[in-house]
Structure 1
Amino acid sequence: MSGNKMAGIQCWLGDGQSDQIRIGHSFTVTSERAFEPHEHLFKINDMQSHIYQVLSGVVGVYNMLPDGRRQIVTFYYPGDLIGIEESESWRYHGEVLCRSRVRSIPITIIDRLLETEPGFGQAMLETLATELAEIREQLLSLGQKSAIEKVATFLLRISRRNLREGGNQHSLYLPMTRSEIGDYLGLTIETVSRNISKLKTSGLIHVLNKNTVQILDLPKLEELADGNS
């Protein structure tokens, strides 16, 4: 979910600059803390009493497969909310992938907003619908695309996110490791690295460092991601 997609909900929850959320004529205090890489916000089957708002950094949500491999379901970026679908317990693990700040919001606040603010429920539905569309796109990528198409699609998702938020769609910051990208795309770390090198050799991207990639030819990268290369 991008910052723009979260705009409706943020009318009520804010952007994390304050530790208070206003509901009607009263205020509810939330908490915020810094996390180091690989700390967990929650683990599978933990009771869910809060949702989380990413203020800085990136959080990966994942499950472990029966054979011991990890499948990262999605990445959450600044402005995103984790856990708004609400359940009694977490159905996955939430791990901080780089130094991050995260805001903790009690579930009871969401319940009260749904009861007292008519527009909040609609904003929740719109956010969940957008998240579902992204999951469907990810399933298509995992099931039908080649390795290099998956990597190209991943880079384009970050590019489009930058564009939606008013950033540079050609300059991509990748705080996650190649291994974590592989766990998201269903590829080995070697395959991810090899295909990033192919994109670089083809003149489609330039790798400035391990966390920064520059897109040199956006139209051709889009063609490749769509299988039209």
Structure 2
Amino acid sequence: MIAPELLEKYGVVKKSFDKNEIIFEEGIFPANYYQVLSGEVKMSNYNDEGREFIQGIFYKEQSFGEPPLFLNQKYPANAIAVDNSEILLLPKSNFMKLLEENPKISIKIIENLAQRLYYKSVMAAEISTQEPEHRVLKLIDHGIAYFNFKKDANGYLINFTRQQIGDLTGLRVETVIRTIKNLEKKGELKIINRKVYR
């Protein structure tokens, strides 16, 4: 998203997080801009029954947690390292200065936030009205476009676990497993060595 060299000019700090370590918690006020240098981060929260709902998954060069930073509102979800991760942290005041002094970066941030808002709108409609097969394919196709999943001879490797697909679509893991098998039978997906390809 923002070149690390530019972030360094504004005082960025690199911090390592272990797998499953909390980066920030739901309900606290934001103090930093966050960008993934390596690893994987999820933003999620839990409903009253203790079921996790993943708001988003973020990979290398992607930023996360900006809306509350701009609005000065509390985080609506936790950010957790899915794998051992290195994260770039830039204090809010430095981040705002960077945006003021670099209009092209501001446009990139706006485009990124618009993409996420568009995804949320599409998925909200899908979750409320569509069958599991349609939901899963919509999520996977969005992942291919937005998360730049790698393509090889088998197709696009889908980097989501079955649990993550369930948490992102509002489906139970058992339903996701059954749905993926049905989609494989229909030729929409391939399962090779337990990995899913589109």
Provide the secondary structure at the position in 2 that maps to 1:34.
Answer: strand
Provide, for residues 92-123 of structure 1, a one-character-per-residue CA deviation record: whole Å limited to 9, x for no partner.
11112223322112111222124434444443
DSSP-derived class of the 1:72 partner: strand
Amino acid corresponding to residue 113 of structure 1 in structure 2: L
Q: Give the AA of the match of 2:130.
A: K
TM-score by length of 2: 0.84
Please, which of 75, 80, 84 is the counterpart of residue 99 of structure 1? 84
- 1:171-190 alignment, distance < 5 Å: 171-174=156-159, 176-190=160-174
Maintained 8 Å contact 1:159/1:168: no
Q: Which runs of 5+ in 2 are unaligned?
A: none
Q: CA RMSD in A?
A: 2.4
SS for the counterpart of 2:10 is strand
Residue type of the alignment partner of 1:69? R
Match of 2:131 in 1: 146
Q: Which of 93, 114, 120 is equivalent to 1:129?
A: 114
Match of 1:38 among 20, 27, 30: 20
> Equivalent residue for 2:196?
213
1:158 to 121, 138, 143: 143
Retained in 1: the 8 A contact 2:32–2:91? yes
Q: 1:153-174, CA deviations, whole angstroms, 9 ceiling, x for partnerless residues?
A: 1221222236xx5952822141
Structure 2 counterpart of 1:202: 186
Aligned to 1:21: 7
CA-to-aligned-CA distance 1:44-83 (integer Å, 9 cap, x gap): 1123111210122321111211232221111112221112
Q: CA deviation at 1:42?
A: 0.8
Measure the CA separation in 2 of the matches of 1:121 and 1:30: 17
Matched to 2:82, the amino acid is L
| Contact map agreement 1:34 1:99 (CA 8 A) in 2 | yes
Percent identical: 23
Letter in structure 2 aligned against 1:130: Q
- TM-score normalized by the length of structure 1: 0.74
Aligned residues: 193
Q: 1:177 to 1:67 in 2, by over 3 A?
A: same
Cα gap change, 1:66 to 1:203, in 2 (>3 Å): same
User: Does the 8 Å contact 1:73/1:184 carry over to 2?
Assistant: yes
SS at match of 2:76: coil
CA contact (8 A) 2:10 2:90 kept: no
Cα shift at 1:188: 0.5
* CA distance in structure 2 between the partners assigned to 1:179 and 1:167 by the alignment: 20
Identify the residue that residue 80 of structure 1 maps to in structure 2: 62
> Take 2:17 and 2:158, find their aligned partners in 1: how far apart are those partners?
19
- Give the distance between the partners of 1:123 and 1:93, measured in 2 at CA: 24
Alignment correspondent of 1:90: 75
CA shift at 1:182, angstroms? 0.7
